[in-house]
Amino acid sequence: MSITVEEVKKLAKLARIALTPEEEQRHAETISAVLDYMDVLNEVDTENVELTSQVTGLKNIVRLDEIRGKDSQKELIEQMPLVKDGKLAVPAVFEEN
């Protein structure tokens, strides 16, 4: 399967890419070569090939998202540099001068 320069121009326009005539010709040839290789791969018999989605044997370990340990809110508040009404206070980001 080959792609024409006109098709490359259309694709470039859709992608909003400016191409020179030399680039249009080069991309037409390159894309055509890739599509020809895809045709070769489509001819490979994969009828008895087992599906492969994982080759390393590693498995995802999932655990419940649960709270463990004690409530450390008091300890966290004690570490804060500035506390107001039991909450972290920070300097204003937008201050009027």
Is pTM beyond 0.75 here? Answer: no
Q: What average pLDDT does range 35-45 have in this prediction?
A: 91
Cα-based distances in Å from 92 to 89, 95, 96: 9, 6, 10
To the nearest whole percent, how much of the chain has pLDDT over 90?
A: 38
Name the 3-class secondary structure at 87. strand
Question: Taking all residues of the chain, what is their mean pLDDT, rounded to a whole number?
Answer: 88
> What domains are defined for the chain?
5-42 (1.10.20)
pLDDT of 95 reads 73
pLDDT of residue 45 exceeding 80: yes
Least confident segment among 41-45, 59-63, 66-70, 82-86: 66-70
Q: Calculate the alpha carbon distances from 18 to 25, 68, 84 in Å.
A: 13, 57, 58
